[in-house]
Structure 1
Amino acid sequence: MVKRVFSFFILLTLCAGARAGAVSAKAYALVEAETGRLITGANVSERLPMASTTKIMTGLLACESGRLDEEFVVPEEPLRVEGSSMGLVPGERITLRDLVYGLMLESGNDAANTIAYLLEGSIEAFAEKMNEKAENLGLENTHFDNPSGLDGPTHYTTALDLARLGAHAMQNEDFADIVSTWEKRVPYNGIQNGRRLVNHNALLKQYEGTLGIKTGFTKKSGRCLVSCAKRNGVTLVVATLKGPDDWNDHRSLLDYGFSVLRRTRLLRAKPDIQASIVGGVKDTIRCSFDEENLEASLSDKELPQVKTHILLRPFYYAAISKGQKLGEIVFTLDDVVLVSRPIYAAEPVEPISPSKLKGLLRSIFP
């Protein structure tokens, strides 16, 4: 499969003159979630503080740790932190999953620090992991000093990086399930369901199709927000930084995105794909690929620009078994990979027998 790495995406802005309505945010980016390509934005590469939208990365790393259902004892040191809290008590036992609920719904800085200590031993070590992940995702204008989003000298992101981080995080099923939850009951210092957590993301109640993901605010950063919504098969992610009217900004930008993009089949006619065979009873064989749900979220103007790439070797040596993977079919838009599928042999090919091979050679070289 062609690897979808966000750092290699070429930015694509649709209808440069046809933007959403007036946006209050200093910087914003609307991206198509499957590809991470830019639909519209402003100051998308300006480095700005991100406040608690930082917790998207913290929560993602926790969800990817493989330890979500492991129970931990809450240490005292990470609870010495200012700002929002889920009300953790030193010495209480809690699962990592419930910590992530407290992190993403109540925006608990105590949860963020506790996750860092439990998984990596310190704030600094966890921040290193956050930055490693950002680098792996190609988020070149993002740097983390801490897991909570409190202001730091080198704690920054951009609207585009943040939107793409959000799109990537929403691909994790545990993460997506947590941030889509409006209210959750978790234990409080041994009392079952003793702690009530309520999501700060009002769009979950106010905008049809909203899936998550995170709010943020400090005096330095102003209001920050990342949202994800899906309608009619199209999934969008919006990030706004320094947005005093962020709820309305997101409604406007999401409305614009859904008005521009629609779910579209990529194949008008199935291509006839054949592979060349050497040393077999056949010179060529038919190939196939899975055509089901071969779709992408595109504008009407984009569809004619989609290119199909059939990636096969010049030839294959027999024997070939039916269903053997031979290559790949890839659909791209301005070098951004939309969809890729394996190409398989639709029929087997046996190698030519030694006697037939000798006869063939005699006919060629009498």
Structure 2
Amino acid sequence: MSIFLSLILIQPAGCSAGPHVTADAAVLMDAATGKVLFERQSHQARPPASTTKIVTALLGFEYGDLEDEVIISQKAGSTGEASIHLFPGERVALGDLLTGALVRSGNDACVAIAEHVAGSEEFFTLWMTAKSRIMGGQTSQFFNTNGLPHKQHWSSAYDLAIVAREAMRRPEFAAAVKSRHAQLKKRQGWPREIKNTNALLWTYPFADGVKTGTTRAAGACLVASATKNNIQLIAVVLHSDDRFGDSQRLFEYGFNLTR
């Protein structure tokens, strides 16, 4: 009898093959218990791109007052690529900055959050790394607040899952990442209405978060949350060829396991 056939015959009853996932690294976690239901290279250090902003926003919610008025610095106002188009000297509520970071992936908003909460982005990134470690992360090392390319800035699928799990327990965070569209309610400038970058919110009925990320080094990334029959799962896919499809397949696999 071949080794392959032997393995099939001794496979435990009820055991099924894992989901088809194109991502180089992935993890599926039960949000209630933290139990890992599926993983692939989940502790491998990788560039996380804008999924970094989950950590930034979590600390912003924890240590800031949403009504605080933030004066946008030259550094924040000149931070490029994905942005909510802040300009130096503008006054913006911290709550709007957090919404802009999570929903529209504003790199500029992340710098402004860090400077307001910690005094500087550099000091804030030390908090980010420490926060990940405190929650059980083993890999993350953050050198900026938004995931723009940096050769020493990395995280892992597992670390991002545990941070997202913690962040989703905060009602303000969960409400922001669940929104397909959001308003920057107290902002005087443009834009005031923003659209979520997470297409899974439109294509998968149980999706309720969390954050996309894309750079050349990181590839297409997604930290996602879905809730079905009062069971919430967190899925992370890094450097994926089909991040939304990967996440949906992970969720369906997980919900079938937990039903």
Percent identical residues = 35
The 3 A distance-change label for structure 1 pair 157 and 15 is: farther
- Runs of 4+ in structure 1 deviating by more than 3 angstroms, as ranges, are 14-17
1:222 is matched with 219
- 1:114-138 CA distance string (max 9 Å, x none): 1111111211101011111111111
Structure with the bigger RCO (C-alpha within 8 Å, sep 6+) is 2
Select the residue among 70, 73, 78 that pairs with 1:72: 70
* Native 8 Å contact 1:92 1:189 kept in 2: no
Q: Which amino acid aligns with 2:145?
A: P
* Native 8 Å contact 1:19 1:256 kept in 2: no
The 3 A distance-change label for structure 1 pair 15 and 178 is: farther
Question: Partners of 1:89 and 1:66 in 2: how far apart?
Answer: 21
- 1:51-109 CA distance string (max 9 Å, x none): 00000000101111141121222122222223100111222221111001110111010
DSSP-derived class of the 1:242 partner: strand
Select the residue among 33, 36, 47 that pairs with 2:34: 36
1:97 is matched with 95
Return the structure number with greater strand share: 1
DSSP-derived class of the 2:92 partner: strand
1:253 is matched with 250
CA apart distance, 1:215: 0.0
2:235 is matched with 238
2:153 is matched with 155
1:204 correspondence with 2:205: no
- 1:293-332 CA distance string (max 9 Å, x none): xxxxxxxxxxxxxxxxxxxxxxxxxxxxxxxxxxxxxxxx
- 1:155-212 CA distance string (max 9 Å, x none): 1111111111111110111111111111112258635x85221100111111112110
DSSP-derived class of the 2:255 partner: helix
Question: Partners of 1:77 and 1:246 in 2: how far apart?
Answer: 32
Q: Which amino acid aligns with 1:59?
A: A
CA apart distance, 1:224: 0.7
* Native 8 Å contact 1:141 1:157 kept in 2: yes
1:123 is matched with 121
Q: Which residues of 2 match residues 108-187 of structure 1 at below 5 A?
A: 108-186=106-184
* Native 8 Å contact 1:94 1:187 kept in 2: no
The 3 A distance-change label for structure 1 pair 41 and 197 is: same
The 3 A distance-change label for structure 1 pair 20 and 64 is: same
* Native 8 Å contact 1:200 1:215 kept in 2: yes
Deviates more, 1:50-59 or 1:61-70: 61-70
The 3 A distance-change label for structure 1 pair 32 and 133 is: same
* Native 8 Å contact 2:64 2:94 kept in 1: no
Deviates more, 1:47-56 or 1:79-88: 79-88
CA apart distance, 1:226: 0.5
Larger Rg: 1
Q: Which amino acid aligns with 2:177?
A: V
DSSP-derived class of the 2:209 partner: strand
* Native 8 Å contact 1:20 1:252 kept in 2: no
CA apart distance, 1:17: 5.7
DSSP-derived class of the 2:104 partner: coil
What number of residue pairs does the alignment pair up?
248
CA apart distance, 1:16: 11
Select the residue among 107, 117, 129 that pairs with 2:105: 107
Q: Which residues of 2 match residues 52-71 of structure 1 at below 5 A?
A: 52-71=50-69
* Native 8 Å contact 2:84 2:191 kept in 1: no
Question: Partners of 2:17 and 2:122 in 1: how far apart?
Answer: 41
* Native 8 Å contact 2:76 2:86 kept in 1: no
Q: Which segments of 5 or more consecutive residues in structure 2 lack a partner in the other structure?
A: 1-11
Q: Which segments of 5 or more consecutive residues in structure 1 lack a partner in the other structure?
A: 1-13, 263-366
